[in-house]
């Protein structure tokens, strides 16, 4: 199931310009079991558009959210070094914005509750909102109450009656997943205490320009966020970005701090990033067509590397099975003729097959007995952690291929 937007999700403009086409692809997290390999796999256009009016970068082909999110294979707590990252995040929010132990902290897209658990253990009231029923059960077992719903104004109205207004609303790697940004903003405005803070963390559009991280384009990511388009959207709903940080998550992400208008002064960090976006010409259509050409060039260079290695008789496998990796594999059409398997340590993915290319996802134990000569590092955002962990493989002569950037390379 899919719908096609005819206008921008932020400003309703119909001046949408397509600049990047990554072909028709299955949803990037729709891993398959052996039985499903015999069935027809749904695929949808994966095309990126630029709004000429508000400058939001977005997909217009919107896959049904129940298909994408009701049963999810990504568990936040299973990511490398995640505990220390979320603990630091929680401590930052607590120290800056929470006043007393009765304050309510809400997370939209709360996944398995790993972040809210830090707030709960510090004595605050918490509430998760996440539609994935399998993951919500894990959060509940962790002691994090969770509404298995998609966040919208209707859910907010019920939650306010039951819990009161929130002093902090957290939304990590989820705003880009939401089609109706206007309902989202209306819901946050109603839910957020007058002196509360809405914290958004999401991959930063500039990262795509700086590091050519085009694999972050997949059907779950409906929008690619930057400060300037969000300022225009929030203004319509009485909300305002007052601080922003660039953080090393999922490549390069922005963490936005939003409140009700005129409650807090707008910091210099906001104006500095606005200027950086203008310096990158993110307000000009031609910049995006230049980006698309760089993506094609990167694909061609990666395929040349892989083709040369296969001609030498080298064994290659993929390291990590993130959603972004499936975008890259499907766009570049890298399948079993190149890769023997995909190694991933998430139990929820092991024993399954990647969407589109149908590569088997194997365990660490399998990879140890079937070692490749090269790993294609699909989980490039954990590059240093992977290289540190895989020193025995490297010392035996194994190498890693970094697939993104203007010049994919071998380490």
Model confidence at 77: pLDDT above 70: no
Between 136 and 8, the more confident residue is 8
Q: For tokens 């892989």, what's the residue?
A: 306
Residue 373 lies in a domain: yes
Residue 71 lies in a domain: no
pLDDT digits (tens, 9 = 90+) for 297-326: 999 999 999 999 999 999 999 999 999 999
pLDDT digits (tens, 9 = 90+) for 33-67: 999 999 999 999 999 999 999 999 999 999 998 88
Residue 383 lies in a domain: yes
The two structure tokens encoding residue 332 = 């570049």
Q: What is the pLDDT of residue 250?
A: 67
**Number of folded domains in the chain?**
1
Lowest mean pLDDT among 212-216, 249-253, 292-296: 249-253
Banded model confidence at residue 276, pLDDT cuts 50, 70, 90: very high
pLDDT digits (tens, 9 = 90+) for 96-119: 999 898 999 999 999 889 999 999
> By CB neighbour count within 10 A (0-12 exposed, 13-18 middle, 19+ buried), where does 273 fall?
buried
pLDDT digits (tens, 9 = 90+) for 205-236: 999 999 999 999 999 999 999 999 999 999 99
Residue 45 lies in a domain: no
Q: What is the pLDDT of residue 265?
A: 97
Model confidence at 8: pLDDT above 80: yes
C-alpha span between 379 and 100 (Å, rounded):
39
b (16+ CB within 10 A) / e for 240-251: bbbbbeeeebbb
**Which residues have a Cβ under 8 Å from the Cβ of 78 and sit 6 or more positions away?**
345, 346, 347, 348
The two structure tokens encoding residue 358 = 């149908």
Range of the domain at 348: 305-410
Between 9 and 83, the more confident residue is 9
Residue 374 lies in a domain: yes
CATH number of the structural domain spanning residue 401: 3.40.50.720
Q: For tokens 């240093």, what's the residue?
A: 384
Nearest to 404 by CA among 320, 294, 287, 293: 294
Instruction: Break the chain down into helix, strand, coil percent, rounded to 5.
Output: 40, 25, 35
Taking residues 231-255, what's their average pLDDT?
Answer: 92
Looking at the chain, how many residues does it have? 411
Between 293 and 73, the more confident residue is 293
Contact between residue 183 and residue 152 where contact means Cβ atoms under 8 Å apart: yes
Coil, helix or strand for 195? strand
Model confidence at 335: pLDDT above 70: yes
C-alpha span between 217 and 376 (Å, rounded):
19
Q: What is the pLDDT of residue 239?
A: 98
Handedness of CA 401, 247, 323, 1 (dihedral sign): negative
Q: What is the pLDDT of residue 248?
A: 82
Q: What is the pLDDT of residue 303?
A: 98
Residue 289 lies in a domain: no
Model confidence at 374: pLDDT above 90: yes
C-alpha span between 182 and 225 (Å, rounded):
15
Residue 404 lies in a domain: yes
Query: Which residues are bridge partners to 169 per DSSP?
Result: 106, 198
Q: What is the pLDDT of residue 348?
A: 87
* pLDDT, the chain, mean: 94
Residue 170 lies in a domain: no
pLDDT digits (tens, 9 = 90+) for 166-210: 999 999 999 999 999 999 999 999 999 999 999 999 999 999 999
Q: What is the pLDDT of residue 72?
A: 53
Q: What is the pLDDT of residue 124?
A: 96
Q: What is the pLDDT of residue 81?
A: 52
Model confidence at 80: pLDDT above 80: no
C-alpha span between 93 and 101 (Å, rounded):
13
Q: What is the pLDDT of residue 134?
A: 85
**Which residues have a Cβ under 8 Å from the Cβ of 45 and sit 6 or more positions away?**
21, 23, 24, 61
């Amino acid at each position: 199931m899919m719908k096609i937007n005819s206008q921008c999700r932020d400003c309703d403009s119909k001046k949408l310009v397509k600049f990047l086409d990554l072909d028709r692809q299955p949803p990037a997290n729709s891993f398959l079991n052996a039985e499903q390999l015999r069935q027809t796999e749904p695929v949808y256009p994966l095309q990126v558009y630029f709004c000429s009016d508000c400058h939001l970068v977005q997909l217009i082909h919107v896959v049904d959210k129940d298909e994408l999110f009701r049963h999810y294979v990504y568990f936040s707590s299973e990511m490398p070094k995640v505990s220390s990252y979320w603990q630091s995040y929680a401590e930052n929010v607590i120290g800056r914005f929470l006043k007393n132990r009765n304050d309510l902290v809400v997370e939209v897209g709360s996944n398995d509750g790993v972040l809210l658990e830090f707030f709960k253990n510090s004595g605050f009231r918490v509430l998760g909102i996440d539609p994935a029923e399998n993951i919500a059960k894990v959060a509940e077992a962790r002691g994090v109450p969770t509404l298995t719903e998609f966040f919208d104004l209707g859910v907010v109205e019920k939650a306010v009656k039951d819990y009161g207004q929130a002093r902090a609303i957290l939304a990590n790697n989820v705003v880009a997943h939401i089609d109706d940004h206007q309902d989202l903003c209306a819901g946050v405005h109603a839910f957020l205490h007058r002196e509360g803070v809405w914290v958004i963390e999401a991959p930063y559009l500039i990262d795509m320009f700086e590091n050519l991280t085009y694999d972050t384009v997949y059907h779950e990511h409906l929008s690619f966020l930057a400060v300037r388009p969000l300022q225009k959207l929030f203004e319509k709903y009485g909300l305002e970005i007052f601080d922003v940080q660039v953080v090393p998550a999922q490549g390069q992400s922005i963490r936005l701090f939003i409140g009700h208008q005129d409650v807090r002064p707008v910091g210099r960090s906001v104006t500095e990033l606005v200027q950086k976006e203008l310096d990158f010409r993110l307000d000009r259509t031609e910049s995006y067509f230049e980006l698309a050409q760089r993506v094609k060039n990167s694909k061609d260079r990666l395929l040349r590397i892989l083709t040369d290695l296969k001609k030498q008789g080298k064994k290659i496998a993929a390291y990590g099975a993130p959603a972004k990796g499936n975008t890259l594999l499907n766009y570049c059409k890298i399948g079993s003729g190149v890769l023997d398997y995909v190694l991933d340590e998430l139990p929820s993915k092991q024993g399954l097959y990647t969407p589109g290319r149908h590569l088997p996802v194997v365990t660490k134990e399998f990879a140890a007995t079937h070692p490749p000569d090269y790993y294609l590092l699909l989980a490039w955002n954990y590059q240093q952690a992977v290289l540190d962990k895989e020193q025995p493989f490297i010392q035996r002569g194994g190498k890693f291929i970094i697939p993104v950037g203007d010049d994919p390379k071998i380490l």
